[in-house]
Chains A and B, each alone.
Chain A
Amino acid sequence: MTWFLVRRIGQSVAVIIGVMILTFILVHLEPGSTARAVLGLKATPAKVAIFDNTYGLNRPLPVQFWLYCVHVLHGNFGISYVAGQPVSTLIAQRLPRDAVLLGLSTLLALIIGIPMGLYQAIHHGTVRDDVIAGTWFTLYSAPDFMEALLLIAVFSVHFHLLQPNFPGGITSVGGLFSDPNALILPVIVLAINSVAGYSQYMRSSAIEELAQEYIRTARAKGLGERLIIIRHLLRNALLPIITILGLSLPDIVAGAVIAEAIFNFPGMGLLFWQSALAHDFPVMLGATLIIGVATVVGNLAADIAYGVLDPRIRHAV
């Protein structure tokens, strides 16, 4: 297991370095003048020169990459051209809030999706199975902006029951809970799209497990159906969900740009989107690197969790 971990961590570091190099090259392939994109049409040649000098854009590309690496090693990822703040500060303001929002929606999706998938597996092939799957797939295939706007129209505009978005002053994780009413709609909208995925993975996995010999053996031994499901089926059927959860870590880090836009939630998704439009390279690079790290860590965590939960894998390693 130790050698496995060392190897996986080594691979992860290599992947992260590769992400840094690749994204740096890609953003610098973007055509046009960064200074003009940031300063606007009225940028005089003198102002462009000052801008380029301030941010090192007039230096050779390898030197710029080296400076980027230095910023990364110092943990600040450079200074945003647009916000004038360290990229690390911008990310630190948004990432925890995204993690809470997307964490809550993932939790809600799991709470609904796992029992739902289990229920469908047990009633596999029945009308109930089809109705539930059809319902969730309908919601899954509906664009989330449409779901968001519909829910706002009904619960905020028509009935005035729920807040349509977050107050503009929220800058901390604690601030999210100062007005829990504002959390309800975004959490629901984000959960809707995940429930279908989780429930169908759970359903498939559980159907597969139900056909296994150990389930038949348990039944033959006279174990109660509830005990079989909870003690034996659930644990084994959850393994694919663990993988999906691990792989969804980058989604949490990357934010949810549409939900952020509609619910006035300045998170990582909008930060990345706006920085891409504004040619704010340090933010683009910083956000991409964080997402890359989250992807690698999520994969690693899934592998480790798999090993912990499934002795066959652990022993095989």
Chain B
Amino acid sequence: MRRTHRLAAAAAALALTTLVAACAVGGGGTIGGGSAVKGQKMKGGTVTIAEVGASPNDIFPMLPATNSNGYNGVLTLGLWPPLVYSGDGAKSAPNPQENLYSSLKYSDGDKVITIDLKPWKWSDGEPITSRDFTFVYNLLKANYNDWFDYVAGLFPVDVAKVSTPNAHTVVLDLTRSYNPTFYTDNVLATIPLLPQHAWDKTSASGKVGNYDETKAGAKAVWNFLQGQGTKMGTFATNPLWQVVDGPWKLAAFQSSGYYAWVPNKSYSGPDKPVLNKVIWTPFTTDTSEMDTLRSGTSLDLAQVPLNDVRQIPALKSEGYSVAQVPAPGVAEILPNFYAPVAGMLLRQLYIRQAMEYLINRKQIVQKAFAGYADPGNGPVPTIYGQQWDSPLEKAGGPYQYSPAKAIALLKAHGWKVVPGGTDTCTKPGTAADECGAGITAGEPLTFQLLFASGTESFDEQNAAVQSSESLGGIKITLKSEPFNTLVSTTGTCNAQSHPASICNDWQIQQYGYNEYLMDPSGAGQFNTDANGNYGGYSSPEMDKLINATEYGSSNAAFFAYEDYAAKQLPLLWLPNESTVFVYKSNLAGVTPLNPFSGLYNPEVWYYTKPAS
């Protein structure tokens, strides 16, 4: 996948599903807005956060290629934040308070980046310097194939040279020009700084050196740190992991997934923690978490499964407030353009358009997601705001629910439409009023929708899709499988992989959503042969427009790409469900939750006591 994979964001994604809907819940509390807690600010206190299914198992902040556990990103984010901190509150922008740089300038046609680091310090008092950046660079350059977040062609292989004119300045000479927003938001935001003065060693008892400066040394350091990073019993005690530059230090860790942060008293940033401790407590299931919430025990912040949103009024009476956070991504029905027979149908834009016209997204948002979802008007969710959300998408997208338009399209292309039944092709051929290439006379318009089982809202959504598609005579049969089975049995299908047996067994599928980083670029998802382009969509025009967003410098390029993608339907757009949270009403600063960096920034949280 061309797009970077940010584990902290992925962790947020694990828990939820997607999108925004600024609506009121049950008793009428507003959602997603700023924290409206009133009262006197208190110092200290402990916040206990419930995490369902959380099981972090690696503390080294750059995970090996074999570790996809997104909860590790949540564990380490507060300890070693990235150079570019994703999300300024709920905005898709770097956080100026938490960024480790004071300025980041692009020059020489956007091929050179000059990064000035803030004069901050590590928790042991040593300054954060440009050497810490080169340490990271050297480690990754020697080991990028074993780095989970590595995206083919991007950092560090796209760096021709790194120079450090002084202790606080880093200059990156890139091998090509990039769009500065793309590179800052989606590449530099995945790179933490690491304490070279403490971690540049090859054994626990060895001395710190400059081992990273040779390839062999960098591999040895990498292997040592990776090894230490998996020793769960020593996460909270290993001296390595006590040297941090984030606002928090790890005070306790248990293999069950329970862990606790305490303030890093030497944190240099402006948002110094007010709380004494943040505890992350694991739950095996949503049910056990909800039971705990309802019994009025000590949870201060927890996710509410969409199936349980009816319990929100009861939780409010227990002293909780409600917030929702959209997942930064796009939900879809994925067409397999290389499926036998079905692929021929799906290659016809008018068929995809008819299918999209027949998806009643507004109804799905209300009925399947209880109002907590992004409408799914196109490739960019509304959370990304004005900078990214084009007028077309804001207006509802190009294909708003209209069975009449779907039927008209199909009839205009030679189909006998049978609402409630199955349409058949009556005019095979490639002329404008015929069914299209590869579609034979009598071909039925039918697809099997494969989807991930175990999520009630998905069941409801797909049943709704099946029902509404039938209004245009498009017959959908549903088949569900556990998510991991679905993932393991359906591979990427494109011109290179075809014909492959793994591509023959699915026609269209729905598994959740594809996540974005701060820049909701289509790179990696819709360009030809991209790793995340699982269905094999290919369009030279789309490739050109995506390249303009990734490598060009025009701000207008993004809307051009976005609108083209919205209309061309490389995927069938679906609503994307949001996550709903409850938090103790006397806890301030929680909202807006940050969907781009693991949701939580407890360094800005504090308790209040009622004004007397």
Q: Which residues of A contact B (CB under 8 A)?
A: 31-34, 36-44, 46-47, 50-51, 54-55, 81-85, 89, 93, 149, 152, 156-157, 160, 163-165, 167-171, 260-266, 270, 277-279
B292 within 8 A of A: yes
Per-position contact with A for B42-75: 1 when CB-CB < 8 Å, else 0? Answer: 0000000010000101100000011111000000
Task: Using known A-B contacts A84-B58, A170-B256, determine if residue A163 contacts B297 with beta carbons closer than 8 Å.
Answer: yes
A157 touches B294 (CB 8 A): yes
Q: Tell me which of A32, A54, A160, A261 has the highest count of chain B C-beta atoms within 10 A of its own C-beta.
A: A32
B68 touches A50 (CB 8 A): no
B66 touches A36 (CB 8 A): no
Q: Among the listed A33, A44, A54, A89, which residue makes an inter-chain contact with B531, where contact means beta carbons less than 8 Å apart?
A: A44
- Chain A: minimal CB distance from B607 (Å): 21
B interface residues, tally (CB under 8 Å): 49
CA distance A51 to B232 in the complex (A): 21
In the complex, which residues of chain B have a beta carbon less than 8 angstroms from the beta carbon of A277? 482-485
Q: Given A34-B488, A41-B532, A261-B288, list of 14 further CB < 8 A pairs? A: A32-B485, A32-B489, A42-B1, A50-B65, A85-B57, A89-B255, A149-B291, A165-B288, A168-B50, A168-B257, A261-B285, A263-B288, A277-B482, A279-B485
Can you offer 20 A-B residue contacts whose CB atoms are under 8 A? A32-B487, A32-B489, A33-B491, A38-B66, A41-B487, A41-B514, A42-B532, A82-B69, A83-B55, A149-B291, A156-B294, A157-B294, A164-B294, A164-B297, A169-B258, A169-B281, A171-B258, A261-B287, A264-B282, A264-B292
In the complex, which residues of chain B have a beta carbon less than 8 angstroms from the beta carbon of A51? 65-66
In the complex, which residues of chain B have a beta carbon less than 8 angstroms from the beta carbon of A263? 288
Task: Using known A-B contacts A42-B531, A44-B1, determine if residue A264 contacts B284 with beta carbons closer than 8 Å.
Answer: yes
CA distance A270 to B285 in the complex (A): 10
CA distance A47 to B50 in the complex (A): 31
Q: Among the listed B254, B488, B511, which residue makes an inter-chain contact with A171, where contact means beta carbons less than 8 Å apart?
A: B254
In the complex, which residues of chain A have a beta carbon less than 8 angstroms from the beta carbon of B289? 264
B230 within 8 A of A: yes
B148 within 8 A of A: yes
Chain B contact residues: over half helix, strand or loop, or mixed? loop
B296 within 8 A of A: yes
Q: Among the listed A31, A54, A160, A265, which residue makes an inter-chain contact with B295, where contact means beta carbons less than 8 Å apart?
A: A160
B283 within 8 A of A: yes
In the complex, which residues of chain B have a beta carbon less than 8 angstroms from the beta carbon of A167? 281
CA distance A277 to B230 in the complex (A): 23
CA distance A83 to B69 in the complex (A): 9
B433 within 8 A of A: no
CA distance A85 to B287 in the complex (A): 27
In the complex, which residues of chain B have a beta carbon less than 8 angstroms from the beta carbon of A42? 1, 5, 68, 531-532
B558 within 8 A of A: no
Q: Among the listed A50, A93, A157, which residue makes an inter-chain contact with B145, where contact means beta carbons less than 8 Å apart?
A: A50
CA distance A94 to B491 in the complex (A): 35
In the A-B complex, the 6 residue pairs with the smallest Cβ-Cβ separation, listed nearest first, are A32-B488, A168-B281, A37-B488, A264-B288, A32-B489, A164-B291
- Chain B: minimal CB distance from A181 (Å): 11
Q: Which residue of B lies closest to A266 (CB)?
A: B284
B258 touches A168 (CB 8 A): yes
Q: Which residue of B lies closest to A55 (CB)?
A: B66
CA distance A167 to B296 in the complex (A): 14
In the complex, which residues of chain A have a beta carbon less than 8 angstroms from the beta carbon of B285? 261-262, 264
CA distance A57 to B298 in the complex (A): 44
CA distance A34 to B489 in the complex (A): 9
B152 within 8 A of A: yes
In the complex, which residues of chain A have a beta carbon less than 8 angstroms from the beta carbon of B66? 38-39, 47, 50-51, 54-55, 81, 84
In the complex, which residues of chain B have a beta carbon less than 8 angstroms from the beta carbon of A81? 66
Task: Using known A-B contacts A51-B66, A164-B295, A277-B484, determine if residue A41 contacts B284 with beta carbons closer than 8 Å.
Answer: no
- Chain B: minimal CB distance from A153 (Å): 8
CA distance A90 to B146 in the complex (A): 25
In the complex, which residues of chain A have a beta carbon less than 8 angstroms from the beta carbon of B258? 168-169, 171
Q: Which residue of A lies closest to B51 (CB)?
A: A168
Q: Tell me which of A81, A82, A84 has the highest count of chain B C-beta atoms within 10 A of its own C-beta.
A: A84
- Chain A: minimal CB distance from B287 (Å): 5
CA distance A35 to B491 in the complex (A): 11
B256 touches A278 (CB 8 A): no
- Chain B: minimal CB distance from A276 (Å): 9
Q: Which residue of B lies closest to A265 (CB)?
A: B284
B145 touches A46 (CB 8 A): yes
